[in-house]
Structures are given as C-alpha cells and as structure tokens.
Structure 1
C-alpha cells in the first residue's frame, strides 16, 4: 500500500528485534543540503529510467527533449504523455514533478492533488534518502494548492496533514488537519491510518489500536493488521497481538514478512 506515511513494514523487519513497535525514526528538521536542492524532474527521471526497457526509455527521452521547445497546448500534451508513462511505470517521483509542471501551466484541483499524491508516494518509498525532504516539501505545496482550489477536499487535507507531520516542522498542525478530516468523515481510511501510525510514533499505542481497528473495519490489509498487532504487543496484550499477527500473515504476500511474523508469534507465545 501507498499509505504508510512513516517507516513501512519492511523497515520494521530490517530492524527485527531492535524496536519492532516503534514505526519511525524521529523526523529530521535539517535544512535541505545542496543535494536535495538539486532534486528536480531531470534528476529523478534519470534515476527512474535505470533498468527500464530501452524502448520505453527512448519514448520518454524523446518527449523530454521536445519539452524545452514546446509551448501552449503542445507543451501540455507532451506533459500529459509524460505523466501517463510515469504513471504506467509506477514511478512517483518524476510523476509528481510532471503533474506539478502541468498544474503550473493549467491550474486545476485534479493536477495539484495528483502531484501531491505522487510526491507522497515518492517520500514514502525513498524516506531513507536525501531526496525525501524535497518530496515532502513539494507534497505540502501541491496539497495546499489543491486546498486553495477546493477548501472542502478531505483528500487534500489528509495529504497535507500527513506531509506536515513528516516534514517535522509543525507536527501538531498536521495532526490537527487529520483530526478535522476524521471529525467530518470518521471512516476516512487514509486519515485513520495516518493517525494510527503517528500515534505509534509517539508511542501512544492505545490510541493506535483504536485507529487501526477502524482501518480494518473499512478495508482490512496486511499493514493494518500488522500495526494493530504491534500496538497490542506494546501495551502488553500478547494474545490479541498474536491473533492480529496471524491475520496479517494470512494476507501477507511477502515471504520475509511471513517469516518475521512467525518469529514474533514465537516470542509472544513464550
């Protein structure tokens, strides 16, 4: 899933016994360095092309080479073609920059929201890299632009809230936005998932349990069951944790996750 706004399951597996209940390292508040300042469509495109089919790389490169000389409708058409390529290839970083460019030329709620969603996926997938702060910053900007065009958008408000928390500057402001979303829509999947994960980050595992139960009622998933189990474990409810881990394993498609869960169940059963 693309809704893990703090360290995903694979991060917990990697750390194994170190700190299985704590889903994220502290957010960094460091200023972007020269590396992150150079993150743009060209740099993320070069990275995204690595390992792709040469024919696809050629098609994308052709569009990129035509962009600088294009304008008006031709430029919009080229950007939309480029966005489709990156979307089809599930490459969120260049997709985010492409939609951002589209939105700057043809401002619309849809373009800004798609830019924000793409940057969110980018920082989730690359949170351990120097590029992550740049993606978080661009996500915040895109969601704010979307909200300016549609102040009632719960999707934009949820995305902005999560990005603000992950930006590390004013986490309570981001949490407040997410709480506004669940107040209006108590069954909002993304907002509840984020609030659950952020409760884990602050080690408020009792609150996390309630959030993940709500998520599971809406849409059961490997991740939701796993985080519910981890929250139960951290408040000492071993039997409940085992049951939740077992549910997570049933839905898991990753053998390494299943092995990790087996170890956790063995530990909790002793």
Structure 2
C-alpha cells in the first residue's frame, strides 16, 4: 500500500527542503546524466552498502512503538502463530501480518513479511512488492541507523526480480533509485533509469527520480523537462512543486509561481499552502 497522499506530500516537501533548497551536495552526481558509464545491472563488490545488514526484529520493534497497543497485540499474536505454523500456513500468516503493517503505513516492518513470502514463493510480483516496501522503508523509516540495511534489502529484492525477468522496468527503476540514493555507484543508477525512459519515455517513476537527481546535481533545465513529462502523465502536487523549485533556480520567477500555485491547489494541505504562499511573496518582490 502506498503512503497516504498527505503524508507523501509532506515527506516530499521535507526531502526537498533538506536536499535541494539547502543545496546539499550529492557525491557522484557531477556528470551529465547522458554520459554512458557502461555500468552493469547488479551491485559491485566495492559498494559499501552491501556490507550493511539490518535485523528484522529491531525494525519491527521500533515500528510497534509507532502504532496503537491493540494493533501491536494483534500482530504479536500472529507472530506467535507464525512461529508454530507449518510451512503451508506461514505464507498466509505473513500476508496477514504484512497487511496489518500496510494499513498503518509501516512499510519497513511490512517489507520483512513480503520478503519471507517472496522467498517461499519467488515470483516477479512478490519480489517487486518486497523491493517497493524496502524502498519506502529506507526512505521513510524513523530510525536512520537502519537506512543502509533496508536499502541493501531493496537492492537484493529488485535483483531477484530482474533474475526472473531481466526486462522488467519496475525492477530496473527501483534498483536505479536505490543505487543513486545510497550506494557508491550513483551513475550506475542513473544509467538504469535512463535505460527505463529510453524504453518507456513517459515512465512516471523513472522521470520523477531523474528529475530530482537532476535538481540535486544542479541541472535544473533537465529537471524541468523531466517534471513536465511526469505532469503530462500524472499531475501530482509534488511534481508541480519540484517543477516550481527548478524554475526558481533557473530564475524563471513567473513560471515558478504558476507551478507552486498549481501544487498548492492540488495538495490542499495547510503546511504546503503556508510554504508556497511565502515562496510566492518572495518571488513577487
């Protein structure tokens, strides 16, 4: 299950403010995104993230602190049933546990259940679901000490999906995002994402991430082009917001104002409205 719209928007705003508006440098993204490095599709041995592991128990423990006691008790009962279950029963119980975590947007905890399901039934769909939940986990989990371990789990899940179907664009996109986000091979991730948009020029997720990575590396015109592509497919508040920020950094104030206004209109979120109103006031002076 995806994050609820309001939560997703707020997370996007926080990420943007921290990473883009405060101009944090991203190592390895200094090359133009069109440069071909000839990268392979799998993690390399010198990738430091590959040595980092994360314990399911620690992630689940933190996640239980973020939900109500009644739901935590329900999950703990299912976990006890799981420990005593037969092999045939375990998948059904893991599915029930995963759904309960999904219902409260605890993707990191849910990911471990989906991973167990994928190991028992290694289908493309199951590995993609596991990869997506681990991705949501490393992007949003409260305990940042688990970030690299969750990211490594996402990489593993997407690689498993690619082993089943080497042409799957969802797996390549997830893998590309993971490489750029937290490994020592950011250009490998860029090449994966560029490969996705070559095959599917309107791919929303790949273009969205290429746009954000272009922003991080100061390539704001490239970012504008990416976000316009996303908006043509799915005009989300966050895509309009990032487009506004890209225009702002290019000095195109009137275009930035229009994009910010559109983001505010679609989101209808008080926090975003307050921020956008301040931005528009600054740009109008």
TM-score relative to the length of structure 1 = 0.88
The CA deviation string for residues 200-230 of structure 1, in whole angstroms up to 9 with x for no partner, is 1111001000000000000011100110010
> Which aligned pairs between 1:32-43 and structure 2 lie closer than 5 A?
37=53, 39-43=54-58
| Structure 1 residues 19 and 102: alpha-carbon distance in aligned structure 2, compared to 1, 3 A threshold | closer
Q: Which residue of 2 aligns with 1:171?
A: 186
Report the CA distance between 1:137 and its aligned residue: 0.9
Q: Is the contact made by 1:140 and 1:163 (CA closer than 8 Å) also made in structure 2?
A: yes
| Structure 1 residues 56 and 25: alpha-carbon distance in aligned structure 2, compared to 1, 3 A threshold | farther
Report the CA distance between 1:21 and its aligned residue: 6.8
Q: Which residue of 2 aligns with 1:251?
A: 266
Secondary structure of the corresponding residue to residue 218 of structure 2? coil
| Separation in structure 2 between the aligned mates of residue 53 and residue 244 of structure 1, nearest angstrom | 39
| Structure 1 residues 27 and 124: alpha-carbon distance in aligned structure 2, compared to 1, 3 A threshold | farther
Q: Which residue of 2 aligns with 1:197?
A: 212
Q: Which residue of 2 aligns with 1:211?
A: 226
The CA deviation string for residues 55-83 of structure 1, in whole angstroms up to 9 with x for no partner, is 32221101112323334102222112211
Matched, 1:92 2:96: no
The CA deviation string for residues 182-207 of structure 1, in whole angstroms up to 9 with x for no partner, is 11111100000010001011110010
| Separation in structure 1 between the aligned mates of residue 179 and residue 75 of structure 2, nearest angstrom | 32
Q: CA RMSD in A?
A: 2.6
TM-score relative to the length of structure 2 = 0.83
Q: Is the contact made by 1:21 and 1:200 (CA closer than 8 Å) also made in structure 2?
A: no
How many residue pairs match? The answer is 261
The CA deviation string for residues 112-161 of structure 1, in whole angstroms up to 9 with x for no partner, is 10010001111221388222111111111101101111112111110011
Q: Which residue of 2 aligns with 1:118?
A: 133
| Separation in structure 2 between the aligned mates of residue 25 and residue 134 of structure 1, nearest angstrom | 23
Matched, 1:26 2:26: yes
* Aligned counterpart in structure 1 of residue 59 of structure 2, from 44, 54, 65: 44
Q: Is the contact made by 2:115 and 2:130 (CA closer than 8 Å) also made in structure 1?
A: yes
| Separation in structure 1 between the aligned mates of residue 155 and residue 124 of structure 2, nearest angstrom | 14
